[in-house]
Amino acid sequence: MTEPGYPTATLAATPGESVSVETVNRQLRSLRLLFVATLLALLVFGAGVDFYLWYQVKMVRKELTATFSFLEDFQKNKEPLLNKLVAGLQVYSQSHADVKPLLDKYSIRPPAADAASSPASAPAAEPAKPAR
Amino acid sequence: MKQESLAAFLVGTLSVCAVAGIVLSSNYWFSTRTLRRLQPQALASQARLRLAQELLNDTLEYSKRNPAIDPLLQSLNIKTNAAAAPTAPKAVSP
């Protein structure tokens, strides 16, 4: 073990030890180089992972926006129209019996059957409102 | 000395990279969770819309046989009064 305060004095005692100091220095330099190279490699890898994540987030957000706008459009514009059509058909079926097979095809009950409940029943099960 | 400052710079950049990775991962996780929650609703709405389109087609088909339903369809702007609308005159070629 060499003393840290007097490295040259003790290490320069024999020529063999002087060579070993050079070796240690060389090894230290190569270790530093290896450390920097590892850091660089990690940085490149991290940047790649970040880029991939950023791209994925971008794609998911795009899909999310499309789904949100579809649901909003459906609930604001299409669903009321559909309910009006169903209600109108139910009222119409009271005076025109020949439309009943059409209502039966879509499981739309005539208003007399579900008078106690809502006047317009949709042809399919009610989808849940999107909670935002 | 130069190598030490380079190493310090690389460590700093790597830390920033790691923080950005954490932020992006959490963002991705939350967005995916919201999307997974909305997708069944969107699928149900799409199925309902398809059914509504079929109902509408059948109703329009029915209206050909029984025009008494036309006022209902016209009130919903589904069917326009085609008979009332005159056809556009042909443009006279020079």
Q: Is this model's pTM higher than 0.80 or not? A: no
Residue with the larger pLDDT of the pair B81 and B11: B11
Helix axes B2-65, A15-73, angle to 10 degrees: 20
- For residue B2, pLDDT over 80 is answered with no
Instruction: Tell me which chain B residues have a C-beta less than 8 angstroms from the C-beta of A47.
Output: 17
Cβ-nearest to B13 among A43, A64, A99: A43
CA distances from A106 to A78, A110, B41, B43, B82 (A): 17, 11, 20, 19, 28
Determine which of A90-94, B1-5, B25-29, B59-63 has the lowest per-residue pLDDT on average: B1-5
| Closest C-alpha to B31, from A33, A65, A2 | A65
Provide the mean pLDDT of chain A.
79
Cβ-nearest to B24 among A39, A54, A92: A54
Assigned token pair, A117:
């409940």
